[in-house]
Amino acid sequence: MKSVLKIKDDILQDNAKEAQGIRQRLAESGTYMVNLMASPGAGKTSTILAVVKELQQDVTFAVIEGDIESFVDSEKVKEAGITAVQIRTGGACHLDVPMVEPALDLLDLPSTDCVFIENIGNLVCPAEFDLGADLNMMILSVPEGHDKILKYPLMFSMCDVLVVNKADYLQLPSNNFDVEFLTERMKAINPEAKVFVISAYAGDGVPELAAWLKDQVHAKRG
Amino acid sequence: MKSVLKIKDDILQDNAKEAQGIRQRLAESGTYMVNLMASPGAGKTSTILAVVKELQQDVTFAVIEGDIESFVDSEKVKEAGITAVQIRTGGACHLDVPMVEPALDLLDLPSTDCVFIENIGNLVCPAEFDLGADLNMMILSVPEGHDKILKYPLMFSMCDVLVVNKADYLQLPSNNFDVEFLTERMKAINPEAKVFVISAYAGDGVPELAAWLKDQVHAKRG
């Protein structure tokens, strides 16, 4: 019998191969895809909604919502007038390619400039699964603490963009989140990654993040 | 070849069997054990430190710190003068019995009234692994949002105690955390569970949680 680690390797390798199929498909339709990962409650849905609102004149979006249970997030996204597809994993702690592919089938990709995948709220497991996205974006929210980069290094080292969300909490008297510590540490373990500090709730920093994303989307769209 | 789901079942069943060994061991020494689970940054270490400080005259504690990487939390605990053992999982997203057993070997159990296990920051995977604890305690922090009970139902339905932490955030003008929604929903899916609302940072609610825990520890200790 294969060891558990060997089986895990096989699963990850199969998934990485299948991710190539998604890349091919997105290349054909010229669609840019973002895999958004974070802890529960870091503000994934709020960040998506804030960015989409900022770019609604320039970019057509669709959102794939990954959840273990419930339709809470896809309902929020649909209420904002954005195309949304829900994946319910029924227990699984991350999304993989076989879950994302049928969700993509439900979208009109040629008329979609950018697909956001909202992954399961989890700083660990999603980092291991290549979904064929153009961009791996992670959110760390201020109330979680800057030390998370020491504790969950894989996510911080594999992402292309780190969004520090809930920046409004930095103003609280009780705040001890050290943005400088985080950005210095990020430079050391992942020097290529972009870092944005935003408040999806109050709007600060959202225009900068959105403008940068628009450039990436248009560069692929041509 | 076995399917991935079958293998997962086997792992969980083996783990549940091995958890009986831990229960037996803790029964012999009269030691009470708490398995503390939460998202990254919900305040697991702060809650442990606050409860231990409250009970330092009445209960002898030890802490087993689970982390994927780093010694940040065990150093904090040791600085507070509490016995701490670090488990580094090197990638694994939860603790299991084979990781906890050697950590217990390092503790003087007969002279320890209560062991806190601080699990990996993750609302999903740790809920599936029985560690042989007397009490499964979870923390949900206010900034994460009350809707997490809809999205991560297994953790909320398997825990014995739900601690709502960072209650100081409830006073913020931007707060939209609905404590009543959460407690009503909790009554529906897990009516036996105790719910405590605390601020480990400011101290509110900690005496009530600590007093309740002391009673549980003393009831086992005899």
Chain A CB contacts of B73 under 8 Å are: 151
Following DSSP, what letter does each residue of A109-146 receive, concatenated?
Answer: GGG-SEEEEE--S-SSGGGG-----SEEEEEEEGGG-T
Distance from the Cα of residue B24 to its chain's centroid:
20
Chain B CB contacts of A202 under 8 Å are: 174
Q: What whole-number distance in Å separates Cα of residue A122 and Cα of residue A180?
A: 24
What pLDDT is attached to residue A112? 98
What are the pLDDT digits (tens) for B20-66?
A: 999 999 999 999 999 999 999 999 999 999 999 999 999 999 999 99
Distance from the Cα of residue A219 to its chain's centroid:
19
Q: What whole-number distance in Å separates Cα of residue A158 and Cα of residue A169?
A: 26
Among the residue ranges A126-135, A171-180, B1-10, B112-121, the one predicted with the least confidence is: B1-10
- In 3-state terms, what secondary structure has residue A81? coil
Evaluate if residue A123 carries a pLDDT over 50: yes
What are the pLDDT digits (tens) for B125-137?
A: 999 999 999 999 9
Torsion over CA: B207, B212, B216, B218 (sign): positive
Contact A114, A59 (CB under 8 A): yes
For A72, the closest of B72, B93, B151 (CB atoms) is B151
| pTM, to two decimals | 0.93
Chain A CB contacts of B121 under 8 Å are: 39, 123, 148, 151-152
Q: What whole-number distance in Å separates Cα of residue B63 and Cα of residue B45?
A: 10
Tell me how crowded residue A64 is: count the other CB atoms within 10 A of its CB: 27
| Torsions phi, psi for A121 (to 5 deg) | -70, 105
Following DSSP, what letter does each residue of chain B receive, concatenated?
Answer: ---HHHHHHHHHHHHHHHHHHHHHHHHHHT-EEEEEEESTTSSHHHHHHHHHHHTTTT--EEEEEEESS-SHHHHHHHHTT-EEEEEE-TT-SS--HHHHHHHHHTS-GGG-SEEEEEEEE-SSGGGG-----SEEEEEEEGGG-TTHHHH-HHHHHH-SEEEEE-GGGGGSTT----HHHHHHHHHHH-TT-EEEE--TTT-TTHHHHHHHHHHHHHHHH-
How far off is chain A from B201, nearest CA to CA, in Å? 8
What pLDDT is attached to residue B57? 95
What pLDDT is attached to residue A7? 73
Q: Does A113 reach chain B within 8 Å, measured CB to CB?
A: no
What are the pLDDT digits (tens) for A165-208?
A: 999 999 988 889 999 999 999 999 999 999 999 999 999 999 99
Kindly provide the ipTM of the predicted complex, given to two decimals.
0.89
Q: What whole-number distance in Å separates Cα of residue A135 and Cα of residue B89?
A: 28
Evaluate if residue B146 carries a pLDDT over 80: yes
Chain B interface, best mutation among A5, A67, A151, by max B CB count within 10 A: A151
